[in-house]
């Protein structure tokens, strides 16, 4: 198990040991920087807890098969997450190397988004799914045409169209994902958790659990005080200090270290079959965003530099960074309206003309 969790030996050994020894507690907290493998580990933990055999990634038991497709009824996954960059990487991966591995990666990326609209999370609030329902159905229909076990080169025309359709609908669907799990969702999750599992055990995974509002946190704490025996709760966070202290006291911590460039290169090579260099996996994903953070920073620096230059106050540009921005603006010689026009064009009218930019 955990064969696909790379460059996180300490967390991997601790989790595998606790599972093998039957010592996994009811609540787990995976803490570490973005893109450090926390969700990969959480999903693998869920699969291992359901597996009817030895937990190997290629296990052929029905439970593992459903988990690999993120379609197991004993898994509940929700919480704040940004999806466009992962779907962009997945689409690029499939196009670069059509294979079972790339097809599974795309399928899982799309299902991570669909998981936020699991009916179990919206019980009693179905009216709020009005706009999401047709998009969810459309993506599911597209994914039905993508069978990783039969996927290969060349990509079948139907599969290629399904991938593009799923990406387009996913861009619209992401805008409907709650910024943080509302309290009704935590209470719906509690009802789901009390029901008997279809297999051996249920797993609840909450990404960016530190984003929960006070009412949701208190509801979550109540569940963790008396957790159902057949459920494991896995909370993920990149900001451990922002977690509620009482929740921290009820969860076992598993730390995920930041990957250096060498470890990042290994992940890119082994998982994405890419030799591209990147300082981090997060930077690699962000570079695939329609408007990457690096591009946003360049526009911000041009804009700020022009403001400083026009102000003409030597006290404002006394520092090396401010003075460098002002000098660059002077050399460029463009007025503020021209910079804003270029920014509007680069972002398709700040998202008004392209929903992937929204």
Tens-place pLDDT, residues 200-225: 999 999 999 999 999 999 999 999 99
Record the pTM: 0.89
- Look at 209 and 150; give whichever has higher pLDDT: 209
Distance, C-alpha 172 to centroid of its chain? 16
Q: Note the pLDDT of residue 224.
A: 95
Asked whether the beta carbons of 232 and 204 are under 8 A apart, the reply is yes
Q: Note the pLDDT of residue 312.
A: 87
Asked whether the beta carbons of 25 and 231 are under 8 A apart, the reply is no
> In 3D, which of 90, 20, 28 has the Cα closest to residue 49?
20
For 18, the token pair is: 């606790």
Q: How far is CA 320 from CA 112, 316, 325, 327, in A?
A: 44, 11, 9, 10
Q: Note the pLDDT of residue 106.
A: 95
Burial 19-42, CB ≥16 within 10 A → b, else e: beeeebebbbbbbbbebbbbbbbb
Distance, in Å, from the CA atom of 341 to the CA atom of 357, rounded to the nearest integer, reads: 16
- pLDDT at residue 356 tops 80: no
Asked whether the beta carbons of 98 and 154 are under 8 A apart, the reply is yes
Distance, in Å, from the CA atom of 97 to the CA atom of 94, rounded to the nearest integer, reads: 5
Order of all β-strands in the sheet with 231-237: 75-79, 202-207, 231-237, 27-31, 252-255
Q: What mean pLDDT is reported for the chain? A: 93
Q: Note the pLDDT of residue 171.
A: 86
pLDDT band of 289, cuts 50, 70, 90: confident
- pLDDT at residue 291 tops 70: yes
Q: Note the pLDDT of residue 358.
A: 66
Residue 188 φ then ψ, to 5°: -65, -40
Q: What is the per-residue pLDDT across 307-336, written as a single tens digit (0 to 9) for each?
A: 999 998 888 888 999 999 999 999 999 999
- pLDDT at residue 104 tops 90: yes
Q: Which of 30-34, 84-88, 94-98 has the highest mean pLDDT?
A: 30-34
> In 3D, which of 84, 88, 103 has the Cα closest to residue 155?
103
Q: Note the pLDDT of residue 1.
A: 83
Asked whether the beta carbons of 259 and 280 are under 8 A apart, the reply is yes
């Amino acid at each position: 198990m955990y064969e696909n969790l790379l460059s996180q030996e300490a967390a991997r050994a601790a989790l595998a040991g606790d599972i093998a020894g039957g010592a996994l507690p009811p609540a787990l907290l995976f803490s570490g920087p973005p893109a450090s493998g926390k969700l990969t580990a959480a999903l693998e933990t869920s699969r291992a807890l359901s597996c009817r055999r030895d937990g190997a990634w290629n296990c052929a038991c029905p439970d593992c098969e459903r988990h690999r497709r993120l379609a197991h009824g004993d898994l509940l996954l929700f919480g704040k997450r940004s999806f466009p960059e992962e779907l962009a990487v997945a689409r690029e991966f499939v196009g670069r190397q059509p294979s079972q591995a790339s097809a599974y990666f795309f399928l899982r990326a799309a299902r991570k988004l669909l998981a936020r609209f699991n009916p179990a999370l919206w019980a009693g609030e179905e009216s709020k799914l009005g706009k999401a329902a047709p998009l969810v159905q459309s993506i599911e229909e597209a994914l039905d045409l993508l069978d990783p076990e039969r996927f290969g080169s060349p990509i079948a025309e139907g599969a290629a169209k399904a991938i593009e359709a799923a990406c387009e609908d996913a861009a619209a669907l992401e805008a409907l994902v709650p910024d943080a799990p509302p309290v009704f969702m935590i209470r719906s999750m509690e009802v789901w958790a009390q029901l008997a599992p279809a297999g051996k055990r249920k797993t609840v995974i909450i990404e960016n659990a530190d984003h929960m509002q006070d009412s949701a946190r208190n509801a979550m704490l109540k569940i963790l005080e008396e957790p159902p025996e057949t459920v494991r709760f896995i909370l993920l966070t990149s900001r451990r200090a922002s977690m509620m202290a009482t929740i921290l006291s009820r969860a076992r911590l598993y730390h995920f270290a930041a990957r250096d460039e060498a470890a990042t290169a290994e992940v890119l090579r082994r998982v994405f079959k890419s030799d591209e260099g990147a300082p981090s996996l997060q930077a690699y994903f962000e570079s695939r965003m329609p408007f990457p953070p690096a591009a946003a920073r360049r526009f911000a620096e041009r804009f700020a530099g022009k403001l400083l230059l026009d102000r003409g106050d030597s006290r404002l540009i006394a520092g090396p960074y401010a003075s460098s921005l002002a000098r660059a603006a002077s050399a460029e010689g463009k007025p503020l309206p021209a910079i804003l026009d270029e920014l509007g064009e680069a972002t398709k009218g700040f998202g008004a003309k392209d929903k992937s930019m929204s």
